[in-house]
Chain A
Amino acid sequence: MEKKSRRSFVKALGVSIGAAGVVGGSSILNSCTQVASTNSDTITLLTSSGELVKVDKSQLKPADLPSLSENQKRGREGLPGRKFVMVIDLSKCRNARQCMKACQNHHQLRPEQHHINVLQMQDAENTAPYYMPKPCQHCDNPPCTKVCPVNATFKREDGIVLIDNERCIGCRFCIAACPYSARVFNWFEPRDAEKYEGVTYNIEANVPQKKGTISKCLFSADRLRDGKLPSCVSACPNGVYWFGDQNEDAVTNGTTHETTSFSKLIKDNAAYTLMEELGTKPRVYYLPPKDRAFPFQGEIDQHHS
């Protein structure tokens, strides 16, 4: 009983405390993982760095957790003035699959569900095979959003295509419409469903996932709001991903954190987009797998005979 009340207490407060004197340097503790004991005036909290600190109760104030409806509203609007773009350098990919792992952790995906998937490609019989990470292409002319009968999936002004799991009725029209097979369906209870019980739904992360609805790559819109790079981009150990704002004409590499001009990068390397003949206008650009840093080590079936 006591345990339950503790948990709900932390959940309700989402504790954020001003404890400048207690924890040297950082003035705000915003992620307390556990409440150890409660007194009348002070409360002992475990900080994210593993220290126990005593904090006066009066210093605690509830964090600004946006409600579901606010979340959905701001999730539809997007970040003002931005137009996010991703560049994937195929010459750097060696199938480390850290992007997929980070993505599945972030978006509560089962092992067989992929917002981003690293594919083994071979364009023609005699050409060299290569690895190709394939996220949602966040098309500027998306076929998927147009077929949704309930306006659950939509395109934002900052370029991102999102889905609202609260609205989705699971008809899977969008899966049929998407030429890139970028969408996944929650056929089963999502991974770690019990862990996310009672968590407010975040439209910018599709968390918690809902059985019987669609989920898709979101460019980690919740992380972008905090000024961080998407999970897959930050997780890559090989410098495959560049991500940035097309309006600013700058993209940043997730591994080296080097920033460069977007237009120069795609021009110098003869970048291309996938299936541009469909008129979807993708926001994900690929740099060709030329001068590869790693040899291809997978096996590829010969479908070209």
Chain B
Amino acid sequence: MKKQIILTLVIALMSVSQGFAQEWLVPDDQKTLTNPSEYNLSNVKKGKDLYIKNCKSCHGDPGKHNGLPLVPAPPDVVSEKMQNNTDGELHFKITKGRGGMPQFEGTISDDDRWRLINFIRNFDPSREQLLVDAPPKKAKLLASVNEVEKKVEIFAEVESANGSFVTLTDATVKISAKKAFGNLPIGEVLTNADGRAEYKIPETLIGDENGMVNIVVQLDEAYVTDNVVLDAAKVGQLKPQPKLIKKEILWSTNENIQTWLLLSYLGAVGAAWAAIAYVVFQIFKIWRLGKE
């Protein structure tokens, strides 16, 4: 009996380890492909956006080794396991997927898959990193809402080399609205030469019952700053609150019964009882006549 258990255990273990330890074989003609996408800042940046959208939820932030604890574990971008792949191998794996790794053949275009590899290669230790992930700079962000003209006014400053704050130009400011379970991005603006920017709030934005919107203003990830949260600005449309349940529509119980149904039911019951009473009364009448 014991032997049997051990045997099954060994077999189970073997099959499990086989399943995971199996080499991820890439066809030779795929392996040697070279990346047609040029290794430059714009491609790496695009790759980064793609990475954040499609890969980060499992592979985690590059260098932080905070990927999901799956089996097999999704390797970090900086890890040797990832970087030892050739460009062709990476491309094949992203395209076809395997097990927990999705296939991105249908969801990311071929050009964009190569851009992703541009981004992955940015963490190759043998290569000089492009400035995509320059150390984040300290910044200050001020914002206010103009309720009359329905716009957000923004002013941004950044810490310069000597420690003083100077106006921040050409920075992307993201504007989103707080919703029940997250922030809904509604737009982006660039700051001008004075470090200022204005964002016109779209007419279609929905607020709460009173049209109030909580607006979140944030700079992109290259800057360290607190997000500005503008509480309850009256810039949105009133939230529609259509009645979902009409009165007297669910009528299996007395509480929700429809009047016509209640009346006709009671009428029918009353009529039945009246008919019975009439018959009984007639029988009684016949019995009395018979007695006379």
What is A's interface to B at a CB cutoff of 8 Å?
A: 81-83, 91, 94, 140, 145-151, 154-159, 227, 229, 237-239, 243-245, 247-250, 252, 255-261, 290-295
Contacts and interface: CB of A to CB of B under 8 A. Distances in A.
Given A148-B252, A229-B181, A294-B102, 15 more contacts: A81-B209, A149-B252, A151-B253, A151-B255, A237-B57, A247-B240, A248-B180, A250-B179, A250-B182, A252-B181, A256-B57, A258-B182, A259-B176, A290-B106, A292-B103
Contacts of B181: 227, 229, 243-244, 252, 257, 259
Interface string B178-203: 01111111000000000000000000
A250 B181 CA distance: 9
Given A81-B209, A293-B104, A259 B245 contact: no
21 contacts: A81-B208, A91-B107, A140-B244, A145-B250, A146-B252, A155-B244, A156-B245, A157-B245, A159-B244, A229-B181, A244-B179, A245-B179, A247-B240, A247-B241, A250-B179, A260-B184, A261-B184, A293-B97, A293-B103, A293-B107, A294-B97
A257 B242 CA distance: 27
A244 B180 CA distance: 7
Nearest to B256: A151
Contact of B103 (A81, A159, A248, A295): A295
A255 B102 CA distance: 15
Secondary structure of the B side of the interface? loop
B245 A248 contact: no
A159 B241 CA distance: 12
Interface in B84-139: 97, 102-104, 106-107
Interface of B: 53, 57-58, 68, 70, 97, 102-104, 106-107, 176, 179-185, 206, 208-209, 239-245, 250-253, 255-256
B189 to A, nearest CB: 19
Nearest to B105: A291
B57 A250 contact: no
Contacts of B58: 237
B166 to A, nearest CB: 33
A260 B243 CA distance: 24
A259 B244 contact: no
A15 B116 CA distance: 50
Which of B97, B104, B180, B208 is packed against the most chain A CB atoms within 10 Å?
B180
Given A255-B57, A261-B184, A154 B179 contact: no
Contacts, number: 98
B95 to A, nearest CB: 12
Nearest to A151: B253
A229 B181 CA distance: 7
A255 B161 CA distance: 39
Given A157-B244, A293-B102, A259 B182 contact: yes
Contacts of A255: 57
A293 to B, nearest CB: 4
Contacts of B103: 292-295
Contacts of B104: 293
A79 to B, nearest CB: 9
A83 B244 CA distance: 8
